[in-house]
Amino acid sequence: MVAREGIRRGVPALVDRARRRGAGAPRLLAAATLCWLGGAAAAMAQAPAGDAATIAELRRQLDELRHRLEQLESRGPRAGGQAAAARAPRNATTAARAPVARGEPVPATGVADHGAAQTELRAARQAAAEAQAAAAAAQASAREAERRAAEAGQVASGPALRLEQNVPGLAPPEPMGRAFEDALRADLPGIAFRVPGTDTQVRLYGFAKLTGYTDLNGRNQTDTPPPSGIPLTGSNADRQGGDFGMSARFSRFGVDTRTLTGWGTLETRLEGDFGGGAPTSSNATFRLRQAWAELGTDAFRVLAGQANSLWNEGLFETLIDATNLNQSFVRQAQLRVTGRLAPGLTGQFSIEAPETQYTSAAGVVTPSSNVDGGASPAFNAMPDFLGRLTWREDGAELGVRGMLRELQIRTAGTAVADPAVTRRTLGWGLAAHGRLPMRWLSDAFGTDEVIGMAFYGEGIGRYFGGNTFGQDALSTIGLASHAGDVRLDSIPSWGAVAAYRRFWTTQLRSNFSYAYARQDYPGYARDFTPGSAAALSLNREMHQVFANLIWSPFAEVRNGVFGSGWLDLGLEYLFTRRDLLGGATMAGPGAVGHGIANRFMFAAIARF
């Protein structure tokens, strides 16, 4: 700092002396320049990364001195022999010859001054050459200082070299050779950039997806067939036969942001697709999937908004967009905390939006349903509470999750016949899953993996929408056999999944899975009218099998981690069977008490 202060104060004084000295100015200015350049080179090389103003000022003075030196050199003999020129004739050669021709002695003053001027000029030129060499060295030192600053995570911007710190806690940008490109580069994958002048990164992501399907059994006009609703054998839809369909409505896009704050990294997400419309319509309707903000660090963070439930589990890879058997794809409003409990172990707890769903003689009822022309008896009195523990290490994963919820009905104020009552029942569930890399057994398996999951609970039907139409409980409301006796009983359910992910090559893979689920119902369930919506929703047992082949031409495996790249092309086979409670007696006239579906489909997914 002292050296830089001396340079800033001393150089102007040397320049003023050079201006006043006349004939000696070139040498003095050259010496001043050499002195300044030496100090500037050291200052610019050793200046701390944050002393941008000093570097800018030194550069300005360097440019000014070089400009003055060039002006002085261009003035030639006038700069070095100004005093002699004032005393001698304009034509120095004629003036020197005239006395000789007249026999007079040659005036020594004019010749001596002229020689001195030439000597002074040569010295000035030599000093100028040395100054230029020193300037080149100073510039090299300055470039080295800038390189060090860039490696330290700083970015030069503009002529004044404004240095901006990268966002702490976020990965620094990769060197690109240009300051403004570094400033805009984000460490987020995909289409991402840093917002100039802020500590925020923004990422756009999503995919365009086309799916097509054909059914071999009953007609099921949806690209998202829930296992609980496939056509029963012998039904009208089964007699019609399967048809063909195509859709792109599940194409998706989203926006992520990450911003450094005093409390950690703030991450936000807005995500949607066009799956909100009818599956048979090409006029797809946009729907919101996720909208949340999460603040904190890897050790502890808090999320608020609409996000995937803690109960969600997409265990294996499928091409279909349906909620498959024993899978949960619930997205709902919640408040969630996540903490790192130990190396590789994460704990989570959430308070999530509730929705009581029960089945009665009127069918499946939710809080927004219209029952007999009046309000719904299904009532939300408190949120759902969910917790989760997940351990991961070297590709392996073990997880357990649980939930606790209250289901409630209130008949007061509805069109349901008296008596006006309130009924409550407890809902709870437990589940565990594991994912094991097969390379742990033998390297010959490559990146293959085996997956398993099992669950048990009561009143958790809406978290397994593919199993039971989302029903949590059964009620006697509307049953003549239970007039005046209002009951609400949570439905016990359990199931398991086993899957294997096989990599034929890095770019070609398959998924094979089998899932089984069972629901147990109270005895009065058999009192529902055969063939009614209520009776047809009582799936006692269910089975589902997946097999697919997916080609990802740009897939890679890095450090044991698989990345599918931006393009997937795949074929998939899906087998589903459901068996009703009571079999044919509950199916209705002409129908069999079970349904079977065989579906083939293809998909193309292009990510960005």
- Whole-angstrom distance, CA of residue 564 vs CA of residue 550: 10
Whether residues 317 and 464 share a domain: the answer is yes
- Whole-angstrom distance, CA of residue 212 vs CA of residue 601: 5
The full 3-state SS of 242-300, as one line of letters, equals: CCEEEECCCCEEEEEEEEEECCEEEEEEEEEECECCCCCCCCCECEEEEEEEEEECCCE
pLDDT surpasses 70 at 558: yes
- Whole-angstrom distance, CA of residue 337 vs CA of residue 339: 7
Model confidence pLDDT, tens digit, residues 321-345: 988 999 998 999 999 999 999 999 9
For residue 103, tell me if it sits in a domain.
no
- Whole-angstrom distance, CA of residue 417 vs CA of residue 482: 12
- Whole-angstrom distance, CA of residue 365 vs CA of residue 58: 77
Q: How far is CA 320 from CA 172, 243, 326, 513, 571, in A?
A: 38, 16, 15, 14, 10
Whether residues 132 and 280 share a domain: the answer is no
For residue 190, tell me if it sits in a domain.
no
Whether residues 357 and 488 share a domain: the answer is yes
| Exposure class string for 128-147: b at 16+ Cβ within 10 A, else e | beebeebbeebbebbeebbe
Output the six-digit token pair for 471: 């029903």
Q: pLDDT band at residue 384, thresholds of 50, 70 and 90?
A: very high
CATH number of the domain where residue 447 is located: 2.40.160.10
For residue 209, tell me if it sits in a domain.
yes
> What is the enclosing helix (H) or strand (E) of 380?
none
pLDDT surpasses 90 at 148: no
Find the radius of gyration of the CA atoms of the chain: 41
For residue 163, tell me if it sits in a domain.
no
Highest mean pLDDT among 54-58, 137-141, 187-191: 187-191
Model confidence pLDDT, tens digit, residues 489-526: 999 999 999 999 999 999 999 999 999 999 999 999 99
Whether residues 514 and 414 share a domain: the answer is yes
For residue 161, tell me if it sits in a domain.
no
Work out the number of other CB atoms within 10 angstroms of the CB of residue 181. 13
Whether residues 255 and 330 share a domain: the answer is yes
- Whether 591 contacts 209, CB under 8 Å: no
Summarize the confidence of residues 289-300 as an average pLDDT: 96
Highest mean pLDDT among 45-49, 127-131, 224-228: 224-228
Whether residues 78 and 210 share a domain: the answer is no
Whether residues 231 and 123 share a domain: the answer is no
In terms of residue numbers, what domain contains 29? 2-87+115-150
Summarize the confidence of residues 382-386 as an average pLDDT: 97
The DSSP secondary structure of 544-606, one letter per residue, reads EEEEEEEE-TT-EEETTEEE--SEEEEEEEEEEEEEETTTHHHH-TT--SEEEEEEEEEEEEE
Summarize the confidence of residues 343-355 as an average pLDDT: 97
Length of the chain: 608
- Whether 528 contacts 538, CB under 8 Å: yes
pLDDT score for 183: 56
- Whole-angstrom distance, CA of residue 399 vs CA of residue 78: 89
pLDDT score for 587: 86
pLDDT surpasses 60 at 36: no
For residue 191, tell me if it sits in a domain.
no
SS3 at position 365: strand
Whether residues 294 and 146 share a domain: the answer is no
Of 84-98, 198-212, 397-411, least confident by mean pLDDT is 84-98
Q: pLDDT band at residue 255, thresholds of 50, 70 and 90?
A: very high
Helix axis angle for 52-74 and 25-46, nearest 10°, is 160
For residue 396, tell me if it sits in a domain.
yes
Is 146 or 122 the better-scoring residue by pLDDT?
Answer: 122
- Whether 28 contacts 21, CB under 8 Å: yes
- Whole-angstrom distance, CA of residue 3 vs CA of residue 36: 10
Summarize the confidence of residues 222-244 as an average pLDDT: 92
pLDDT surpasses 70 at 413: yes
Q: Where are the beta strands (DSSP E) in 140-284?
A: 154-157, 162-165, 191-194, 200-215, 244-247, 252-261, 264-273
Pairing of strands 488-490, 473-475: antiparallel
Summarize the confidence of residues 5-17 as an average pLDDT: 48
Is 514 or 93 the better-scoring residue by pLDDT?
Answer: 514
pLDDT surpasses 70 at 381: yes
For residue 194, tell me if it sits in a domain.
no
Report how many domains make up the chain: 2
